[in-house]
Structure 1
Amino acid sequence: MTRRMHPISRMAGASMLALALAFPVTLTPILTSPAHAWRIVYDPSNYAQNVLTAARTLEQINNQITSLQNEAQMLINQARNLTSLPHSSLQQLQQNVSRTQQLLGEAQNLAYDVGQIDQAFQNQYGNVALSSTDAQLVADARSRWENTVGGLQDAMRVQAGVVGNIDANRSEMTDLVSESQNAVGALQATQAGNQLLALQSQQISDLIAVVSANGRADALSEAERATAAQQGRIQRERFLTSGTGYQPGNARMFNN
């Protein structure tokens, strides 16, 4: 005749077997007389303690997993923050600056050089010598006029070069703003911002070049005007200065 176990005992036995590998279970060996066998005795307090321990252990494992996930995400974010920006506008900005510098370096007649300017004003501008010949006065006036016209042309050439940089700057600005908006980390955003500042500096350099070229042209015009006024006074003084009077002489008319 088969002996049936109580339903509670069967349920307890199944639960204890599930936790047998992780937690100790109180077992009481009972030796039956006919066939030596083990019988599981259910201990409610021990079972509850084991379940509570298992729950706490599972909670600790979950916390450790969460902590590892957070650390992994932190490392990923750090890697993103250290990622360098793949786009560089340095070459384009250097080309724009070099183009403007080249135009300034091609200044005609009177360049952007302090020594050359001082020498030109000493020789061609300022005081006009009363002893200068008419031919010398005309030559100096023409030289000053050529300087003024050349300065005006140089100013317009610099203006044209700066205007030509606008389209390149617009394209570069669009790329940098796009790179900044799509930055994956702090380093990329910072580098994009630095390149935008460099672009702004290049535009300020173009503005300085235009102002300098225009100022040079205006200065040459004013210097020519001032020197022309001085030359006019010299020529008027010559005209009004008393010279040798009329001396009569023999005149021959009609081949007599």
Structure 2
Amino acid sequence: MTTSRFKKSVLASVAVASMMLATAPARAIVVYDPTNYAQNVLSAARALEQINNQIRGLQNQATSLLNDAKNLTSLPLSVLGPMQQQIRQTQQLLNQAQNLAYDVRAIDQEFAQKYKNIDLNTSQETLVNDARSRWSNSVGAFEDALKVQAGAVQNIEGARGSMSRLVTASQSASGALQAAQAGNQMLALQSQQLADLTAMMASIGRAQSLEAAQKAAAQAQGREQLRRFMDGEKGYVPANASMFRN
């Protein structure tokens, strides 16, 4: 082999190798950087922590909304209707008071006429009729007092049932609003019982006052009738009485 042929062979080999390298696919070279990897891990951890915090915040908000919904839930039980009905019944009994009613002007006028400023110069028949009217007022007042007392006693059972239901509803209340409403209704129930007690005491006091006034008027009228008996036109003249005939 001559020198020229050898050179040509080498050049051909180099050209083929160059062509092969030019047509071969390029491959990337991966370089590992520990510092960059650690920073990426820390960034991912921080992002995950932020996501967890947001999730916990949403959960807290949901719980708060649920609690607010419970606190705003109205109490399904109401005893105001029965209580108002009982109060109306007691008021009706008071309005049915006989003769002298619970009216300041009427009492002032009729009391002055029949009890305070009695005309003792009227006829005997009028005096008797006035005394009978005063006695009727006293009897009617005691009857009215008994009716009011009976109504108050009848309301006790209804109040007991309402209180029992309210206590049960309060103990099972799901929120602050239900507990507050149950407490308010309990106070209203106590007010209704106090109203019954007030009405009962008023009716008893009315009866006692009329009875005392009736007795005072009867004493004044009795003295006048005794005076008339003693100082009448004929008067009382003692005389001898014969027990046996001869």
If the TM-score is normalised by the length of the shorter chain, which range does it land in? 0.7 to 0.9
User: Identity of aligned pairs, percent?
Assistant: 56
CA displacement 1:14-70 (0-9 Å, x = unmatched): xxxxxxxxxxxxxxxxx9x97633343332222222222221111111111111111
Which residues of 2 match residues 158-173 of structure 1 at below 5 A?
158-173=148-163
Q: Are 2:186 and 1:179 aligned?
A: no
- The one-letter code sitting in structure 2 at the alignment partner of 1:197 is L
String of CA shifts for 1:153-185, please: whole Å, max 9, x gaps: 100110000110111111111122222222222
Structure 2 unaligned regions, length at least 5: 1-20, 238-246
The one-character-per-residue Cα deviations of 1:193-239 (angstroms, maximum 9, x if unpaired) are: 22112111111111110111001101110010100111111122223
Equivalent residue number for residue 134 of structure 1: 124
Q: Amino acid of the residue matched to residue 108 of structure 2?
A: D
Unaligned runs of 5+ in 1: 1-30, 248-256
Q: In 1, are the aligned partners of 2:145 and 2:203 still within 8 Å (CA)?
A: yes
1:101 paired with 2:91, answer yes
Where relative contact order (Cα < 8 A, 6+ residues apart) is larger, the structure is 2
Matched with 1:110 is 100
Which has the greater radius of gyration? Answer: 2
User: Residues 215-234 of structure 1: matches in 2 within 5 Å?
Assistant: 215-234=205-224
TM-score by length of 2: 0.80
Residue 129 of structure 1: how far off its partner (Å)? 2.8
Equivalent position to 2:34, from 32, 36, 44: 44
Deviations 1:121-156 (A, max 9, x none): 233212433322222222111111111011001001
Give the whole-Å Cα distance in 1 for the aligned partners of 2:45 and 2:152: 74
Partner SS for 2:115: coil
* Separation (CA, whole Å) in 2 of partners of 1:234 and 1:161: 42
- For residues 86-112 of structure 1, the C-alpha deviation after alignment (integer angstroms, 9 at most, x for no partner) is 222221111010010011111112211
Q: 1:57 aligns with which of 47, 65, 77?
A: 47
Amino acid at match of 1:195: Q
How many matched pairs? Answer: 216
Structure 1 length-normalised TM? 0.77
Which residue number corresponds to residue 235 of structure 1?
Answer: 225
Indicate conservation of the 8 Å contact 1:126/1:226, yes or no: no
